[in-house]
Structure 1
Amino acid sequence: MANNDCIVIKDSNDGYPLDMFCVPKHYEEDLEKILIPSGLIADRIERLALEIVHDFSHEGLVCLCVLKGGYKFFTDLLDRIKQLNRITEKSIPLAVDFIRLKSYVNDQSLDKVEVIGGDNLDNLTGKNVLVVEDIIDTGKTIQTLLTLLKTVKPKCVKVASLLVKRTPSSVGYRPDYVGFEIPDAFVVGYALDYNEYFRDLNHICIINDHGKQKYASST
């Protein structure tokens, strides 16, 4: 069975000062603090990979990356799974697929989730599917995607999300695999963006008001 345990970052967590880690200079004025350093992210992903290999044993698995924010987590998670395939007795045959959704403008969640890119999902029929997401916020995006996936009749669908946000607007959805549960703040870095900025930041950080204004979208 999938493990719902995760690292819970409390609302009172002070995070880490920017000058304690290496942060791109062009973002120094735009961030409030580092919430999760890249090293901690890497170690947690290694554990998630171990759980996934254990759960699926020798069954084949199609890993479906939710672009764009999920690409870094997706890549690192698959690297760890492939590493485990080489060194443990259990191994999972892997295939990959991609889908792109749009659910944010600036820091506001859209009422309607848009599917704006992806392959034909018919090749997921009868397959074990692992959806790999960067963050579950309200849960509306992932529920929309899961409804879409049901129409192609996969064998089973599990969801791995690096982050789950504690927010009053949550619909209560909980993924099968969770890296970290975080406070209700807008986070960037590790491929999570704010209007396409901050994807080149290794750590997960909280953006400040200056950064939101600086990179605000006019649409």
Structure 2
Amino acid sequence: MSEGNMATFPCSTQRGLLISETWPGYNLDVFTLPNHYCEDLECVFIPHGVIVDRIERLASDIMKDIGDNHITVLCVLKGGYKFCADLVEHIKNLSRNSERFISMRVDFIRLRSYCNDKSTEDLQIIGGEELSKLTGKNVLIVEDVIGTGRTMKALLSHIEKYNPKMVKVASLLVKRSPGNETYRPDYTGFEIPDIFVVGYALDYNEHFRDLHHICVISEKGKEKYKV
């Protein structure tokens, strides 16, 4: 990859690491990937090591903001489970070596709003019957990716009915979607162009969750695994 291309790599902003529209990603042949996926991907968009380092910084920011609290972590399945697990582990490690301490319990919720690679208006909340336990609690919602923001706004509106003490949102990815000009989570890993990415537990119809890196799916991959 040329030095000119490297100039388009993420830069740090308050919105997370900003990845430009012109970032081409890395060639697939410089990383280890499952052979059965290689023809279904265009590039490695964010390498696993960069993801892990960024999550460690998010954990540090969360410790500074809401340390000395008991937190209920609400993990949005299925795509958020890897991000959530790594984020919680980093917070625990920081907490062990700090004068501040975060006591955490993790609950899970599942949202459905995608058909193939398109977000729909229909939001289904699975596991919502447990949300009554959030009354009076400090809540950290952990999400994999926020696109238009409609899904997260709907979830926040639903959670507010149970009167939590505090609600913060951490999202690994935020897309620069034309439909999202107002909502930003409290903690963002990466802000990316409005493209469909897979890997690191993000899926396309339940495929690609086992990739360590975040990758751009090819049109061939979309056609192969569409429902």
| Alignment TM class, shorter chain as reference | over 0.9
| Residue number in structure 2 paired with 1:175 | 185
| Residue number in structure 2 paired with 1:90 | 100
| Residue number in structure 1 paired with 2:8 | none
- C-alpha distance in 2 between matches for 1:74 and 1:80: 10
CA contact (8 A) 2:15 2:191 kept: no
| Residue number in structure 2 paired with 1:199 | 209
Quick one: which amino acid aligns to residue 153 of structure 2? Q
Deviation at 1:111, TM superposition (A): 1.3
| Residue number in structure 2 paired with 1:59 | 69
Deviation at 1:122, TM superposition (A): 1.1
CA contact (8 A) 1:97 1:119 kept: no
Deviation at 1:169, TM superposition (A): 2.1
Quick one: which amino acid aligns to residue 32 of structure 2? C
Q: Secondary structure at the match of 1:69?
A: coil
- C-alpha distance in 1 between matches for 2:154 and 2:45: 28
- C-alpha distance in 1 between matches for 2:128 and 2:99: 34
Tell me how many residue pairs correspond in the alignment: 215
| Residue number in structure 2 paired with 1:27 | 37
Q: Superposition pairs for residues 1-219 of structure 1, below 5 Å?
A: 4-217=14-227
- C-alpha distance in 1 between matches for 2:214 and 2:18: 14
CA contact (8 A) 2:141 2:170 kept: yes
TM-score, structure 1 normalization: 0.95
- C-alpha distance in 2 between matches for 1:118 and 1:151: 12
- C-alpha distance in 2 between matches for 1:118 and 1:203: 30
Deviation at 1:171, TM superposition (A): 5.0
Deviation at 1:96, TM superposition (A): 1.1
Cα deviation 1:56-89 (Å, max 9, x = unaligned): 1201111100010000000000000011111122
Identical columns (%): 57
Q: Secondary structure at the match of 1:120?
A: helix
How much is the aligned-residue C-alpha RMSD, in angstroms? 1.2
Q: Secondary structure at the match of 1:154?
A: coil
Structure 1: 5+ residue stretches without partners: none
CA contact (8 A) 2:111 2:124 kept: yes
- Cα 1:203–1:190, aligned 2, differ >3 Å: closer, same or farther? same
- C-alpha distance in 1 between matches for 2:84 and 2:136: 22
Deviation at 1:216, TM superposition (A): 0.3
Structure 2: 5+ residue stretches without partners: 1-12
